[in-house]
Chain A
C-alpha cells in the first residue's frame, strides 16, 4: 500500500487482513477504523440530506410523502449527530494524532480504546436495525421530544438504546483522553507546550465525561415511558413534558461543543503552520477552550425559549448564552491576528481552515439572533435554525474535518493528493454550501418552518436555489474524496515535513512507526516555534 520502509504501523502486526485492524489496540489503527466508520456514516447522511432537498425542490409531493420525509430528516439528524460529528474528531483524529502530539506511545488505556470503537459499532448497528424493525424508522426528529416520542408507533425504543450505547463509547473515549493527557506527556511537554488541538480535545473530553451521562439517563427515561408507562413526562399523571427538554438539552447543548471544540483546535494548529507565524495568544486560545466548555454547559435553556418555561429562566439562559460568545470571539480574533503579516500559503488545508473561520462566524453570529429571546421567538423552528446549525456544524466542524483530512492523512499514508484537485473541490464546496444554506436562512426569516415536506408557493424559488446548491456541494464533495483517496493510495510520495509543522507528529518518520517515536522524545520548544522546521 505504501512505499515506506517496512518498520511502520501499516505492516507491523503478526496478524493479517481484517483482524489486524478490528482487534488492534494501536491508537493509529483505531483512529483509522473510526475515520472510515464516521466517513461512511457521513456519506449516508449526505445522501439522505440530498433526498430531503430533492423533496423540497418544489412545493407539494415531489419524491416522498410526509411520513417518509419525517423519518428521513430524523435519520439524517441522528446519523449526522451521533454517528458522524460527535465521535468524528475525538475518535478519528484525536486517536490518530493526539498521543503523538504529546510524545506518547499510545493512549493510557489501549484496550478500552478499542472497546470504545466496538461500542460505537454496536450502537450504530442497533440504530440501523431500528430503521427496519418494529414500527419502522423513528419520525420524531433527532431530539426525541416527548410527548410525541412516547406515543409514536415507530421504533423509537430501539433507536434510543442504540444512542445510549454510543454515549458509553463517548464517555470511555473521554476518560481515556483525560488520563492520557494528564499522565503520558513526554519529558518537557508542559501544559503550555501542549498543541492547541490537544488542548481542545482535553476540554472536549471533560464535556464527554460530565454531560453524556445525562443523555443516557434521559434516553432510559424515554424507554421506560414507552415500555413501562411511568408517566414522568405526562402532565395528566403529574409529569412534566418540559422536564424532558431540560434533560435533553443539558446534554445536547454541551454536545455541540463536543462537535466544535476539536474543530477549533485543528484550525488553531493549521493557521500558524500555513502563515509561518507563531499562534497569536496561545494561552488565551487554550483558556477559551476551557471557558467555552464550562460556559457552554450552562446555556441549554436557549433551545427552550418558546417551550413554556418560566420567564425568569428565559432571562437567565438568554444572558448566559451571550457569555459564550466571548470565548468564541477570542478564538476568531486570535486566528485573524495570527494571519496578520504572516507569510500565508493557500494550500488545501489552509483553504478549508480559512473557510471554517468565515462559515463558523456566520453560524455563530446567527446563533446570537437565536440566543436573544426576543428575536428567537420569531425564527424558532424555522429554516433559519436549519441554516444556522448547518453553518456551525457543517461549515464549522465539517470543513475543519476536511482540513484535518488534507493536513494529517498524508502523514499516515506516506502519499499525497493533487493540490489542484483539492482546491477545485474546495471552491465548489464553498460555493455550493453557501447557496444551499444561506437560502435556508432567508427562507426562515420569511417564515418557512422546519420539518415539513411541503410549503407555501411563495417559498418556491429560494427552495429551488437551495436544492441546486446542494448538488454543487455534492459534486465538490465527490471530487474532494476521489482526489484525496486516489492521492493517499497512488499519489506522489509524502515524506519529511513539507508543511513545516512544529508539533511532534511532524518530527517522526512518515508513516509513523508502531511505537510512534524511535527514541523517547524530549520536548524543548513550543508547538508553534517554527525555527528550523524547514519551510522558508
Chain B
C-alpha cells in the first residue's frame, strides 16, 4: 500500500496558520466582489475563489499534498468533473435570452 508510507505526517503550526490566513483573506475577497458590478461574471468570480479555498483545505488540512500519486489523481478527476459540469451549465446560463 504505497499511501501508507505517508501516514502520520504532521504539518507545522506556522504553515497551518498561513493557510488559515489565506482562507480568511479569500473570504474577505468574496464579500468584496459582491459589491462590484460584474453581472453574470460575479458568480464566476465567487466560484473561482471558493474553489481556491477548497483546494487549500484539501491540500493542507486534509493532507492531500502528502498523499501518493494515485489518490491525488483520483481526487483531481473528481474536481475536474465538477468544474466541467459547472462550466458547461454556464454555456446556458450566461447566454440565456440572447438571440
Chain A interfacial positions (CB closer than 8 Å to B) = 182, 206, 209-210, 214, 240, 242-243, 246, 250, 297-298, 301, 309-313, 316-317
Contact = CB atoms under 8 A, between A and B. Distances in A.
Interface string B67-83: 00010000001100100
Given A246-B89, A301-B88, A313 B81 contact: no
B41 interface: no
B35 interface: no
A310 B97 contact: yes
A242 B97 CA distance: 13
11 contacts: A209-B78, A210-B81, A243-B93, A246-B92, A301-B88, A301-B92, A309-B92, A310-B93, A312-B91, A312-B92, A313-B95
A243 B92 CA distance: 10
Contacts of A209: 78
Contacts of A250: 85, 89
Interface of A is mostly: helix
Interface string B2-46: 000000000000000000000000000000000000000000000
A290 to B, nearest CB: 11
Given A210-B78, A210-B81, A298 B95 contact: no
Given A297-B81, A298-B84, A310 B89 contact: no
Contacts, number: 47
Instruction: Name the residue among B81, B84, B95, B96 with the largest chain A CB count within 10 angstroms.
Output: B81
A240 B98 CA distance: 16
Nearest to B98: A310
Nearest 9 A-B pairs (CB), nearest first? A313-B92, A310-B95, A309-B92, A312-B95, A313-B91, A310-B96, A210-B81, A310-B92, A316-B91
Contacts of B85: 214, 250, 297
Of B84, B89, B95, which is in contact with the most chain A CB atoms at under 10 Å from its CB? Answer: B89
Nearest to A240: B93
Contacts of B84: 297-298
B94 to A, nearest CB: 8
A143 to B, nearest CB: 18
Given A297-B84, A310-B97, A242 B78 contact: no
B84 to A, nearest CB: 6
Contacts of B99: 311
Contacts of B89: 243, 246, 250
B70 A182 contact: yes
Contacts of A210: 77-78, 81
Nearest to B74: A178
Contacts of B91: 310, 312-313, 316
Contacts of A311: 95, 98-99
Among A210, A240, A243, A313, which residue has the most Cβ atoms of chain B within 10 A? A313
Contacts of A214: 85
A212 to B, nearest CB: 12
A205 to B, nearest CB: 12
Nearest to A207: B81
A403 to B, nearest CB: 31
A360 B88 CA distance: 28
Contacts of B88: 298, 301, 313, 316-317
Contacts of B97: 310
Contacts of A301: 88, 92
A182 B2 CA distance: 12
